[in-house]
Amino acid sequence: MKIEAITLREIHMPLVHFFETSFGRTYDRRILLITVHSEGTNGWAESVTGENPGFSSEWIESTWSTIKSHIASTLLGKTLSAASESPVLMRGIRGHRMAKAGLENAIWDAEAQQKQQPLSKLLGGTLSEIACGVSIGIQDSPEQLMGKIGTEVAAGYQRIKLKVKPGWDLEILERVRACWPNILLSCDANSAYTLDDLEHLKKLDQFNLLMIEQPLWSNDFYYHARLQRELKTAICLDESIRNARDAAAAIELGSCRIINIKVGRVGGFTEAKKIHDVCKSHSIPVWCGGMLESGIGRAHNVSLSSLDNFRLPGDVSASKRYWKEDIIEPEVVVSPKGTIPVSTQPGRGYKIREDLIEKLTVRKETLKA
Task: List residues with catalytic annotation.
Answer: 163, 262
* Gap between the Cα atoms of 53 and 346, Å rounded: 35
Q: Does 58 bind ligand OSB (CB under 6 A)?
A: no
- Beta strands (DSSP E) in 22-125 are 24-38, 41-47
- What minimum distance in Å lies between the beta carbon of 188 and Mg ion? 4
Distance in angstroms (rounded) separating the CA atoms of residues 196 and 201: 9
To the nearest 10°, the Cα dihedral for 242, 246, 248, 249? -160
CB of residue 297 to Mg ion, shortest distance in Å: 15
Q: 83 vs 145, which CB is nearer to Mg ion?
A: 145
Of these partners, Mg ion, ligand OSB, none, which one is at the site of residue 104 (CB under 5 to 8 Å by kind)? none
Contact indicator for 313, 133 with CB cutoff of 8 Å: yes
Binding map of ligand OSB across residues 94-133, x = CB under 6 A, - = no contact: ----------------------------------------
Rounded distance, CA 283 to CA 281, Å? 6
Sole binder of ligand OSB in the list 135, 139, 270, 309 (CB under 6 A): 135
Residue 291 interacts with ligand OSB (CB under 6 A): yes or no: yes
Q: Among residues 13, 315, 328, 339, which is the contact residue for ligand OSB, using CB under 6 A?
A: 315
Q: In whole angstroms, how close is the CB of 290 to Mg ion at the nearest point?
A: 9
DSSP labels for 166-214?
TTBSHHHHHHHHHH-TTS-EEEE-TT---GGGHHHHHGGGGG--S-EE-
122 vs 187 by CB, closer to ligand OSB? 187
Among 109, 188, 220, 326, binds Mg ion (CB under 5 A): 188
Residue 169 sits in the site that holds Mg ion (CB under 5 A) = no
Using an 8 Å Cβ cutoff, are 60 and 49 in contact? yes
13 touches ligand OSB by CB under 6 A: no
* Site pattern 199..218 for Mg ion (x: CB under 5 A): --------------x-----
Phi-psi region of 207 (alpha: psi -120 to 50; beta: other; left: phi over 0): alpha
The CA-atom distances, in angstroms, between 150 and each of 172, 184, 205 are 14, 13, 23
CB atoms < 10 A from the CB of 196, how many? 8
Amino acid at 221: F
* Residue of the chain from 111, 238, 293, 326 that contacts Mg ion (CB under 5 A): 238
Residues 233-262 that bind ligand OSB (CB under 6 A): 238
Binding residues for Mg ion (CB under 5 A): 188, 213, 238
For ligand OSB, the binding residues (CB under 6 A) are 21, 55, 135, 188, 190, 238, 289-292, 315, 317
